[in-house]
Amino acid sequence: MKGKKILSFLSSFVNVVLFVLLACMIFLVISSKASGGEPNIMGYQLKTVLSGSMEPTFQTGSVIAIKPDIDTASLKSGDIITFVNPDENLVTHRIEEVQGSGETLGFITKGDNNDFVDGETVYASNVVGQYADFTIPYLGYIMSFANSQQGSVLLMIVPGILLILYSAFSIWRALSILDRKEEDVKAQ
């Protein structure tokens, strides 16, 4: 009797885990596609760290959260910001120095792992957001894979197939138990 309860619990647990995995993968893929690659969660944007310029603060492949709605005038030396550089790429570096104010507000930035400050002043209009003290190491590799065509298909189909196979196994097992009960009743 105790073994059946444990088996039933494990069966329910596996069902829940597979369903949650499928739901998470669907959410990850859809939110990544809808937002152009980086999902938004509760007002924060998730960005993937693509280089080692901020190590050890952020490891390459980590996902960081940034707050996009910030008052750039309140930024100070030591804050970490995400900005668009002259090559139209997103960069996340630490502010070394604040220059000017108002329309001419600019920031001298530097990656924690870089020897020198960045070559260009970052103007307030190019700041996308401020680091929100939230990092998930290595999740960026999964998000980058999820944004690829193969990743989208794989991350949505594989959990779905596993859920269907496990459900089929559960139904087969339940039918086997019913057949045995019918045979026991006929034998009596």
Domain boundaries, the chain: 1-34+148-188
Among the residue ranges 14-18, 161-165, 168-172, 174-178, the one predicted with the least confidence is 14-18
Asked if pLDDT for residue 37 goes beyond 60, the answer is no
Reported pTM: 0.63
Asked if pLDDT for residue 10 goes beyond 80, the answer is no
Among the residue ranges 36-45, 115-124, 132-141, 151-160, the one predicted with the least confidence is 36-45
Tokens at residue 34, please? 């809808």
What number is the average pLDDT over the span 132-160? 78
Active site residues: 51
